């Protein structure tokens, strides 16, 4: 079991993401890849001396095939296909139109995943509001609702729920158990957004352009996104066994899925007209940025997750005990907050899995007598992902896309404060839900 000191490179990576864009923005944008490499080496070099060169190489190999490649290829496919859909017309950049798009995106996130819905809608959302001088609130609410909260209703919506599906949780359980908590979060936020957006819209010098006739180009990319969604679903059903890649066991279904994601990317690049991508101001920088940063995050998070996996016998036991009652049972409210806060700063899928096993790991029990506990674990893992840029995969990508389209995005801590001010009151509503 690793000592807490092995978590320092991950902490350093988090602080770099939080502080460098504020304190040294030019350095960060030019050298973020070097910073990510520094913290990776900071983990691997002591590992070489303590466990040998082979252990360090295997740590990289393990992180690459179990975390990074499946993650980045899925994201790449959705980013490329989503950027190949050009929407013209529809709701203009009015308070009602923007609220309608956010509501639609919240619904779509449960059907096609938070990343898929976000990549399809972020470009038309920003284009419809190009006349606005104040757009930050639009992007923040978009991250919260479309990139996170809306994914609560199906296993396709968000990685933690998909992990639950792979561990025996029925496909329609999230819709049955998480729809009400999701609405408790989404409905107040949509209402708050409408009034905030109306306030800012009334103070804009420019008015939105008259609504255009609805036009859609690059439609075949919608089919490619559906291929990605179905591939993700099939991984939970078709499991033909594992193969060994230089000592790392990996499921054949995962390899096939990665090949499909790569094929989707290539097909989208080759067959999408360049004018469509230009219409979306599409470029590869957001994808490169996310790939570099998450490569280091997935590597350095390994020891932290190992400490969590150790459960009540590990160095994180003092945190996990906060979720228990005097009788040793898990308390839904405490689980919701702790699983959520850890998910906001760690990878929400492994965090979900830790609490799933902490609650017994029996899907039949957790969807039966312990249903409130599983609901709390799931809601915390999904909802709190909106609290930070690294809480869920599409957050940082949306931030990068918005930034490249002229929206001055806040740093890590300012975003945390803004998102927290919006989310904490509605999370309190969800806590009341668990006390019924």
**β-strands 86-88, 248-251: how paired?**
unpaired
Q: Which residues contact 336 (CB under 8 A, 6 or more apart)?
A: 376, 377, 379, 380, 427, 430, 431, 434
Indicate the burial class of 316 (C-beta count within 10 angstroms; 0-12, 13-18, 19 or more). Answer: buried
pLDDT digits (tens, 9 = 90+) for 12-49: 998 898 888 878 888 988 899 999 999 999 999 999 98
| pLDDT for the residue numbered 138 | 96
pTM exceeding the 0.85 threshold for the entire prediction: no
Confidence of residue 1 (pLDDT cuts 50, 70, 90): low
Taking the C-alpha atoms of residue 395 and residue 256, their distance in angstroms, rounded to an integer, is: 27
Indicate the burial class of 276 (C-beta count within 10 angstroms; 0-12, 13-18, 19 or more). Answer: middle
The dihedral sign for the CA sequence 398, 404, 405, 410: positive
The CA–CA distances, whole Å, from 92 to 58, 405, 415 equal 51, 18, 26
Instruction: For residues 61-89, give the mean pLDDT.
Output: 85
Domain ranges within the chain, ordered by starting residue: 4-434
| pLDDT for the residue numbered 268 | 96
Q: Judge whether residue 132 has pLDDT over 80.
A: yes
pLDDT digits (tens, 9 = 90+) for 209-254: 666 677 788 889 999 998 998 898 888 788 888 888 878 888 898 8
pLDDT digits (tens, 9 = 90+) for 51-67: 898 888 988 988 888 87
Taking the C-alpha atoms of residue 127 and residue 208, their distance in angstroms, rounded to an integer, is: 11
pLDDT digits (tens, 9 = 90+) for 346-405: 778 778 888 888 888 888 999 998 899 999 999 999 999 999 988 887 898 899 889 888
Give the residue among 359, 362, 295 at the shortest CA–CA distance from 324.
359
Confidence of residue 331 (pLDDT cuts 50, 70, 90): confident
The CA-based angle 371-374-376, given to 5 degrees, is: 110
- Please answer whether residues 319 and 62 qualify as being in contact, where contact means their C-beta atoms are separated by less than 8 angstroms: no
Instruction: For residues 146-152, give the mean pLDDT.
Output: 94
pLDDT, the chain, mean = 87
Please state, for a pLDDT cut of 90, what percent of the chain lies above it: 37
| pLDDT for the residue numbered 436 | 56
């Amino acid at each position: 079991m690793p000592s807490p000191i092995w978590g320092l490179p991950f902490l350093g990576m988090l602080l770099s993401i939080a502080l460098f864009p504020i304190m040294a923005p030019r350095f960060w944008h030019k050298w973020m890849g070097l910073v990510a490499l520094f913290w990776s080496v900071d983990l691997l070099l002591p590992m070489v001396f303590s466990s040998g060169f082979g252990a360090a190489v295997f740590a990289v190999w393990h992180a690459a095939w179990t975390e990074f490649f499946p993650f980045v290829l899925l994201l790449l496919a959705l980013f490329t296909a989503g950027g190949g859909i050009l929407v013209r017309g529809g709701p203009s950049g009015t308070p009602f139109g923007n609220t309608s798009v956010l509501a639609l995106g919240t619904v779509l996130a449960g059907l096609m995943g938070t990343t898929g819905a976000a990549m399809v809608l972020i470009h038309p959302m920003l284009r419809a509001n190009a006349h606005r001088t104040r757009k930050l609130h639009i992007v923040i609410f978009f991250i919260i609702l479309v990139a996170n909260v809306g994914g609560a209703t199906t296993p396709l919506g968000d990685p933690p729920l998909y992990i639950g599906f792979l561990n025996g949780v029925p496909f329609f359980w999230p819709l049955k158990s998480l729809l009400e908590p999701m609405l408790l979060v989404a409905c107040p936020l949509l209402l708050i957004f409408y009034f905030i957006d109306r306030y800012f819209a009334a103070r804009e010098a420019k008015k939105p352009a008259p609504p255009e006739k609805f036009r859609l180009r690059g439609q075949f990319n919608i089919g490619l996104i559906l291929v990605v969604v179905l591939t993700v679903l099939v991984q939970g059903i078709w499991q033909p066994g594992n193969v060994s890649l230089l000592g790392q066991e990996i499921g054949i279904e995962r390899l096939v899925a990665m090949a499909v994601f790569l094929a989707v990317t290539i097909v989208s690049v080759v067959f999408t007209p360049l004018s469509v991508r230009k219409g979306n101001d599409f470029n590869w920088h957001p994808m490169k940025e996310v790939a570099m940063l998450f490569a280091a995050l997935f590597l350095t998070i390994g020891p932290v997750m190992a400490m969590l996996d150790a459960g009540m016998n590990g160095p994180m036991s003092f945190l996990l005990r906060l979720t228990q009652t005097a009788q040793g049972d898990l308390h839904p409210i405490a689980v919701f907050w702790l699983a959520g806060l850890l998910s906001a700063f760690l990878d929400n899928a492994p965090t979900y899995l830790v609490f799933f096993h902490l609650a017994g790991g029996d899907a039949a029990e957790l969807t039966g007598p312990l249903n409130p506990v599983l609901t709390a674990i799931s809601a915390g893992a999904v909802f709190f992902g909106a609290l930070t840029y690294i809480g869920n995969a599409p957050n940082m990508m949306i931030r990068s896309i918005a930034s490249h389209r002229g929206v001055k995005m806040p740093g890590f801590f300012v975003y945390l404060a803004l998102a927290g001010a919006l989310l904490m009151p509605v999370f309190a509503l969800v806590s009341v839900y668990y006390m019924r």
